[in-house]
Chains A and B, each alone.
Chain A
Amino acid sequence: MVIGLISYAIQMSNGFIVTAIRDQVSWGFYISNFTFLVGVAAAAVLLVLPAYVYHFKPIKEIVFLGEMMAITAICMCILFVTVDLGHPERVWHMLPLFGSPNFPRSMLTWDVLVLNGYLIINATVFFYIMYKLYEGADYNKIMPLVLLSIPWAVSIHTVTAFLYNGLGARPFWNASILAPRFLASAFCSGPALMILVLQIVRKMANVPIDNKAIFKLSELIAYTMALNIFLLFCEVFKEVYSDSIHLYSLKYLYFGLHGHNNLVPWMWTALVFNSVSLFLFLYPKTSKSIKYVNAACVMTFIGVYIEKGFGLIIPGFVPDTLGEIYEYSPSIVEIGVTIGIWATGALIYTMLFKFAYPIYKKGLPNNGERQEG
């Protein structure tokens, strides 16, 4: 966090010149992270789905952990967007009455709206459940809001996809498959992170978490990862077979263009990680072993992080609209700020957990003994 603050201070006093962002690539590492985290936030709440819709008990008990993750991820998203602004102190220009929000025309105002709405919904649900647990009362009254959070989760990620999708100037983003691909990859990375966090929580705080919950999640990742890879294939096919000039960005990503190939090793890593993790999730022997599932989760997380971050934002700008290739790689300052925000995220999550844990312990019917699902 200290690194982050120092780096941001450097950026504030010198301007964006200390980042690697230039006219050709006008969004970089911050927006990459933002996009990835919107996916995590959206997926976190999908834990709710099996829990409430199918009354799958092992997950229902730990839904609050998912909600905490959604809250944390959204906070990080907001931080990433803020550090990306040239004039963060002017954000009030986006407020109704005070400023002049370009609503409904700009997708960015929509995004601000749905992200904040999502934050409010999740925070409400979380604190309400905590409050009721504390009182020892039933918290089913909040149900409608919990159910609302499911389509809302889909909407935050769809709107974020539309942010890029709607730009005719950037053929790489201007493909109708973008929103589905966004969702598919989010539903891989979110649960993958969740599985890892669950185990950390289980180890550190002795919260009873059923392995069944973990395997249920990994099953979910297997489906969505398969879908994710399939959608990637569809896109590659369309680009390669039609062989138009729009192929440049894709070529740049996977093979390099005119000798510029910064991203190539990254993209292949992502592809390999995603494929291997899919195999691990599917193959019966490995899919029932926590060790392999964990390895697969780590790979999924990294794979999607690369694909969604660098692999999506940067090639939208390479080659740029006038055909120029500027190879972007984040500067030290950008990396510093990013580390700072991730650290802040970890802090938020820990704080939420510190707050929730005693209440949760107390609220469990048989005082924290593991329950059979």
Chain B
Amino acid sequence: MPNENENKCADKNLDRRRFLKSAAVGAAGLALSSCSSSSFQAFFQDHFREMDKDELLSTLKRMEEEYSKKYGKKFTVSAEAPIDETLFGYGLDISRCIGCRRCVYACVEENNQSRDPQIHWISVLRFKKGDKWMDLENSTKYYDPEKVPEDGYFYVPIACQQCENPPCTKVCPVQATWKEPDGIVVVDYNWCIGCRYCMAACPYGARHFNLTDPGLPAEEVNPKTHYLGNRPRPRGVVEKCTFCIQRTRKGLYPACSEICPMGARKFGNILDPESEIRYLIDKKRVFRLKEDLNTLPKFYYFI
């Protein structure tokens, strides 16, 4: 730790912020010298967006080591940057969805969500046919059929809508959550203070709080992770769907759309006029949830 401090002080580009930080690190270093060094570094790490390259690389490395040790698998934590000229959008064909919830569990596996207590980023709402379905009050997400689809019902899966105008990022007091250039709304789990204001602000129930240490059995962990996405979360922070940032920034489809047996889920770059998602938006009858709130979701439902 002291070495790192000296290096920082020697840095010619020392700005005020850095100076204050190193002073604080130094002072607290004396006070907390009993702390393990990795939780110590985690405590003083910068906001993701303000890390310089060195800090980012050392942070990623620290995390990889930590997770590899904890879960006994080789972990990668990447910080894959957004692709230029890309704005991700999602499409969902309601008439095809059969309510099987394979997407829900594929998402849990891919994104290392807590099994106990359960966290699900996707909720599949079930409505009675003929019910006024814009009134979400009429739905339930707890149903347990022998066989799907059930007669007389239809289903509406909901996850983070990746709003263009996201209320959740506006309210966050520490900017721990923000919209990336490719439109994905992300959370820096190491920066979130757990105030849950974003949960109050999200109109789509898309944010989830880690009430306790995530119950994540080592044999089920997915070790291919992204810093802003599916790396194992600490307790006391908020998490949410990231359009599988660890996959989609590499050109893959999100896990939910890959697993859907009905092909109800579509994904792509809405800036690309040739893409399937654009075709659907242009040609189909599409709507978005709670349009009156002006959140401008990039999640399109079509019939």
Contacts and interface: CB of A to CB of B under 8 A. Distances in A.
B171 A107 contact: yes
Interface in A237-293: 245, 248
B29 interface: no
Contacts of A27: 196, 200
A169 B174 contact: no
Nearest to A325: B137
Interface in A1-60: 14-17, 19, 21-24, 26-27
A105 interface: yes
Nearest to A111: B173
Contacts of B192: 86-87, 90
Nearest to A245: B135
A86 B209 contact: yes
B302 to A, nearest CB: 20
Contacts of A319: 137
Interface SS, A side: loop
Contact of A102 (B17, B173, B196): B173
Interface stretch (B53-61, B210-218, B249-257, B272-280): B210-218
Q: How large is the interface on B (under 10, 10 to 19, 20 to 34, 35 or more residues)?
A: 35 or more
B235 A86 contact: yes
A177 interface: no
Given A100-B47, A102-B174, A170-B200, A84 B205 contact: no
23 contacts: A15-B235, A17-B117, A17-B212, A19-B211, A90-B191, A90-B192, A93-B191, A99-B47, A100-B47, A100-B50, A100-B174, A102-B172, A105-B171, A108-B171, A112-B173, A166-B171, A169-B200, A169-B203, A321-B136, A323-B125, A323-B136, A323-B138, A323-B139
Given A23-B207, A26-B200, A106-B197, 20 more contacts: A15-B213, A17-B117, A21-B196, A23-B205, A86-B235, A87-B193, A88-B193, A93-B193, A94-B173, A98-B21, A99-B174, A105-B171, A109-B173, A168-B295, A169-B200, A169-B201, A316-B200, A317-B200, A321-B203, A322-B158
Interface of B: 16-17, 20-21, 24, 43, 47, 50, 117, 123, 125, 135-141, 158, 167, 170-176, 191-197, 199-205, 207-213, 235-238, 293-295
